[in-house]
Structure 1
Amino acid sequence: MRIFYHLGRYTLFLKRVFGKPEKHHIFLKQIVREIDKLGIDSLGIVIIISVFMGAVITLQTAYNIDMPIIPKYTVGLAARDSILLEFSSTIVGLILAGKVGSNIASEIGTMRVTEQIDALEIMGINPAGYLVLPKVIAFVFIIPVLVIISMGVGITGGFLAGSMTGEVPAPEYIYGIQFAFQPFYIIYALIKAVVFGFIISTISAYWGYYVQGGALEVGKASTKAVVSSSIQILLFNLILTQLLLA
Structure 2
Amino acid sequence: MGFAVSEDWPGNWAGDWHAALAALAWQVDLGAVDPVGEAPVDRYALADAAPQSAAAAGQARAAPAPAPREAAAAPRPAEARPDPVEAARAAAMSAQSLDDLREAMAAFPHCDLRQGARNTVFSDGSPRARLMIIGEAPGREEDLEGRPFVGRAGQLLDRMLAAIGLDRASPDAERAVYITNVLPWRPPGNREPEPAEIAMMRPFLQRHVDLADPEAIVLMGNAACAAVLEKRGILRLRGQWAEGFGRPVLPMTHPAFLLRQPHAKREAWADLLSLKARLAKA
Which structure's relative contact order is higher, taking Cα pairs within 8 Å and 6+ residues apart? Answer: 1
User: Does TM-score exceed 0.5, indicating one fold?
Assistant: no
Higher relative helix content? 1
Higher relative strand content? 2
Rg larger in structure: 2
Which interval holds the TM-score relative to the shorter structure?
under 0.3
